[in-house]
A and B are shown apart, each in its own frame.
Chain A
């Protein structure tokens, strides 16, 4: 099930807005495609992210995958627990497996993202 309360990048990152703070991670579909996640490389607190540009990398047994920022803003918190337990991204992509919290600069950027139905249609199209 694709959570209704999140917004989505076509590159399979999700964004959860709470005021001017947005939490980001990757979707359940993405983790199930990537599988066996062994390493997550994330930016440091204070880094400025730009919407749709690379901000980090996840590594599975098979390959490395780039992560793209769903919105622009400053990193205010990093999920440090992923350093020692990256498998949380596989086990709990929407909760324990979150990556970053960012303070967004332009809330209207969220409007450019897919909603749950749009994302569902996107992965169906990608899979077809």
Chain B
């Protein structure tokens, strides 16, 4: 299994580890619930160095990322970040990712850890524009700070920039604790937060600089367990659970990231055809009405008929209710509410609710 540059720090913090996408990652340090609530109330420190980073540079860079993206990269200016999907020719989702525009001829792509090889092959295969593609995942560490105390915590480490002035989905190049960093106002928790990209050799220095301040602010180091419950509450999809190569963006509620007007991209033809034909499935959020926990692949019923499956499900530490996403047939009326989920052979009642599950 692959390890991040911070593996030994996690070990020294007595983290429990888990395998995720080929990586040995911290699952939790204290408890998923404690870490989750620390992010909601104070601040959390995450090692996300398993994520993949590609640099796309040169004259053809813009053309290449446009061609691959369902969202319109043309809307980016320097210093902005875009959430987008790559789709295949049949409209299935290859990955969901962030695109950072440094300049018209310089982009950084941040992809899911489990998809690094697949995405790199995908980008290289379609590179007929002369762009230079470089997988810098191995040299790049990613440390995130998320939670309401993030800005106050980060300020003293970034004297040359006013971090409170960096808007959501924007980034600056600067120094954090004297370390060259891509300071990105992004995250996967639904909280105010920053994601800090540094070279792998500086990862421990950055973590060690921030960690005491996080503890001082009643924060916690946060593992992948709480990362999953935080993203779920915030209504954010996870590749590999809620979507994959066989699901299209419309079925999983990501149609607003498909911009097909006046632009060409891979999968556009198939997606337009599917839209015309009618989308068979939709993604809904649900909340259990009893204490049972619905998990991935459990069957969803309405009026005695199976209408879909759970894609992600977990207890919500903030709501103290069990929640999840399910893909169900389009004719299921979300406002109508009641569904049943089969858990170990028994039906358990749930209601369809608005996503995100928590509002900030």
| A interface residues with partner B (beta carbon < 8 Å) | 35-36, 38-39, 41, 57, 59-64, 83, 86
Contact of B33 among A36, A41, A57 (CB under 8 A): A36
Q: List, in ascending order, chain A residues with CB within 8 A of B292's CB.
A: 39, 41, 59
Known: A41-B344, A59-B315. A64 touches B295 (CB 8 A): yes
Q: How far is the CB of A77 from chain B (nearest CB, A)?
A: 20
- Expressed in whole angstroms, the Cα–Cα distance for A38 and B32 within the complex equals 12
Q: How far is the CB of A49 from chain B (nearest CB, A)?
A: 16
- Expressed in whole angstroms, the Cα–Cα distance for A90 and B31 within the complex equals 12
Contact A61 B33 (CB under 8 A): yes
Contact B28 A59 (CB under 8 A): no
- Expressed in whole angstroms, the Cα–Cα distance for A57 and B293 within the complex equals 11
Q: How far is the CB of B91 from chain A (nearest CB, A)?
A: 33
Q: List, in ascending order, chain B residues with CB within 8 A of A64's CB.
A: 293, 295
Q: List, in ascending order, chain B residues with CB within 8 A of A59's CB.
A: 292-293, 315
Q: List, in ascending order, chain B residues with CB within 8 A of A39's CB.
A: 291-293, 315, 322
- Expressed in whole angstroms, the Cα–Cα distance for A63 and B31 within the complex equals 13
Contact B291 A83 (CB under 8 A): yes
8 tightest Cβ-Cβ pairs between the two chains A and B: A38-B315, A61-B32, A59-B293, A36-B33, A39-B291, A61-B315, A35-B31, A36-B32
Q: List, in ascending order, chain A residues with CB within 8 A of B21's CB.
A: none
Q: List, in ascending order, chain B residues with CB within 8 A of A57's CB.
A: 344
Q: How far is the CB of B193 from chain A (nearest CB, A)?
A: 21
Q: How far is the CB of B321 from chain A (nearest CB, A)?
A: 10
- Expressed in whole angstroms, the Cα–Cα distance for A61 and B291 within the complex equals 12
Contact of B225 among A38, A41, A62, A83 (CB under 8 A): A62
- 8 more CB-based (< 8 A) A-B contacts, given A39-B315, A86-B291: A36-B32, A38-B293, A39-B322, A59-B315, A61-B33, A61-B317, A62-B32, A63-B295
Q: How far is the CB of A84 from chain B (nearest CB, A)?
A: 8
For residues 259 through 313 of chain B, which have their beta carbon under 8 Å from a beta carbon of chain A? 291-293, 295
Q: How far is the CB of B341 from chain A (nearest CB, A)?
A: 13
Q: Does B220 contact A (CB under 8 A)?
A: no
Q: List, in ascending order, chain A residues with CB within 8 A of B295's CB.
A: 63-64
Residue of B nearest to A87 (CB): B33
Contact A61 B225 (CB under 8 A): yes
Q: List, in ascending order, chain A residues with CB within 8 A of B64's CB.
A: none
Q: List, in ascending order, chain A residues with CB within 8 A of B317's CB.
A: 61
Q: List, in ascending order, chain A residues with CB within 8 A of B322's CB.
A: 38-39
Q: List, in ascending order, chain A residues with CB within 8 A of B32's CB.
A: 35-36, 60-62
Q: List, in ascending order, chain A residues with CB within 8 A of B314's CB.
A: 61-62
Q: C-beta contact mask, B6-44 vs A, less than 8 Å → 1, else 0?
A: 000000000000000000000110011100000000000
Q: How far is the CB of B19 from chain A (nearest CB, A)?
A: 13
- Expressed in whole angstroms, the Cα–Cα distance for A38 and B225 within the complex equals 15
Contact A36 B291 (CB under 8 A): no
